[in-house]
């Protein structure tokens, strides 16, 4: 792995997350994250990369606060990094963020990683199916999306609106998303419209449902869009025979481009460390893609 890029990604995560960890007894501070080293083997190719993500919030106690998040994916010859940081104000009516907020699609209508791994070569392609267009462009093009965001809730329904304008003026994006929870079940969806500075636009919609019964659960999501954006159907499921072991399976059908499918397994240690393995196959892929990871959640 390229040592300079690894150090850069590590610094990004630590700047946003590690400093507040030392002050974790401060009232109003919440944080979480996941960092890991992942090794991928695909035929005769091998790749090792660093993956990190985290978020934090700090409430000053008078309605004002700070909301931040960081994402990093770094391998030899490739890196994708993004830092999100906003001022926030909250009340009985909801909350607003000003600065560089995450898209509401990420909060309400994204299902995390496919098959429990970053999947090396497939990361740039699958990002547009699985995340907001704002996040994908910020990561892959290394540009900053300034914007506004509103979040609200009514009973079991939570929802949000977000607006982003990229620093180079090449992209303007508006997103809306919701999530409705009923005990162990949830329904979610969202739509995102992006206008390109040079002309043209892209509208991507997604709808899905998930369930977590503790020992087992899963999710189903359909994503589609205009101008030839492929309709994608994704199914994931998991089974936990005990608190340490999680077994999973996933399938993603990309209309016109084939099907991805895989299985994964994870063992979690008592100190929040974990090891994970996954195997991914696809139509026309002669060799499976094997991922092994060691990570830590906080």
Reported pTM: 0.86
Chain centroid, CA 219 distance in Å: 15
Whole-number CA gyration radius for the chain: 19
Residue 38 falls within a domain, yes or no? Answer: yes
Q: Return the CATH number at 59.
A: 2.40.160
Least Cα distance to 66 among 39, 92, 41, 85 occurs for 85
Residue 39 falls within a domain, yes or no? Answer: yes
Gap between the Cα atoms of 24 and 64, Å rounded: 19
Residue 279 falls within a domain, yes or no? Answer: no
220 CB neighbour count, 10 Å cutoff: 15
Residue 76: which pLDDT band, with cuts at 50, 70 and 90? confident
Instruction: Inform me whether the pLDDT recorded for 119 exceeds 80.
Output: no
Residue 169 falls within a domain, yes or no? Answer: yes
Residue 248 falls within a domain, yes or no? Answer: no
Q: Are 54 and 17 in contact (CB under 8 A)?
A: yes
- In this predicted structure, what is the pLDDT of residue 78? 81
Least Cα distance to 116 among 298, 246, 297 occurs for 246
What domain range includes position 47? 3-212
Residue 266 falls within a domain, yes or no? Answer: no
- In this predicted structure, what is the pLDDT of residue 6? 39
pLDDT digits (tens, 9 = 90+) for 242-289: 999 999 999 999 987 889 999 999 999 999 999 999 999 988 888 899
Tell me how far CA of residue 190 lies from CA of 7, 23, 174, 202, 221, in angstroms. 35, 36, 11, 14, 11
pLDDT digits (tens, 9 = 90+) for 1-60: 343 443 444 444 334 444 434 344 456 899 999 999 999 998 888 889 999 999 999 999
- In this predicted structure, what is the pLDDT of residue 27? 63
Eight-class DSSP state of 156: T
Name the domain count of the chain. Answer: 1
Residue 47 falls within a domain, yes or no? Answer: yes
Residue 255 falls within a domain, yes or no? Answer: no
* Residue 297: exposure state from Cβ atoms within 10 A (0-12, 13-18, ≥19): middle
Tokens read off for 206: 């997604």
pLDDT digits (tens, 9 = 90+) for 143-173: 889 999 999 999 999 999 999 998 777 889 9
DSSP string, 86-135: EEEEEETTEEEEEEEPPPHHHHHS---SGGGS--GGGHHHHHHHHS-HHH
């Amino acid at each position: 792995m390229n040592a300079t890029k690894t150090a850069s990604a590590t610094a990004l995560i630590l700047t946003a997350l590690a400093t507040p960890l030392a002050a974790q007894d401060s009232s109003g501070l919440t944080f979480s994250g996941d960092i890991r080293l992942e090794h991928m083997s695909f035929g005769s190719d091998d790749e090792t990369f660093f993956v990190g993500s985290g978020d934090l919030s700090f409430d000053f106690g008078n309605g004002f606060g700070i909301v931040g998040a960081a994402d990093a994916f770094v391998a030899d010859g490739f890196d994708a990094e993004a830092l999100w940081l906003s001022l926030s104000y909250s009340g009985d009516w909801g909350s607003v963020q000003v600065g560089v907020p995450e898209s509401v699609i990420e909060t309400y209508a994204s299902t995390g990683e496919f098959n429990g791994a970053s999947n090396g070569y497939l990361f740039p392609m699958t990002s547009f199916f699985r995340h907001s267009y704002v996040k994908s462009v910020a990561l892959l093009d290394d540009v900053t999306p300034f914007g506004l965001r509103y979040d609200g809730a009514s009973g079991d329904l939570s929802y949000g609106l977000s607006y982003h304008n990229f620093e180079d003026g090449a992209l303007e994006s508006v997103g809306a998303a919701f999530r409705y929870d009923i005990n162990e079940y949830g329904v979610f969806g969202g739509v995102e419209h992006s206008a390109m500075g040079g002309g043209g636009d892209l509208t991507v919609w997604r709808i899905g449902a998930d369930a977590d019964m503790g020992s087992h659960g899963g999710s189903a999501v359909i994503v589609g869009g205009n101008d030839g954006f492929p309709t994608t159907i994704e199914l994931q499921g998991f089974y936990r025979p005990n608190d340490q072991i999680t077994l999973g399976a996933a399938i993603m059908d990309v209309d016109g481009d084939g099907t991805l499918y895989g299985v994964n397994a994870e063992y979690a240690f008592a100190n929040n460390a974990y090891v994970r393995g996954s195997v991914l196959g696809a139509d026309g892929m002669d060799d499976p893609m094997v991922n092994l990871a060691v990570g830590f959640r906080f």
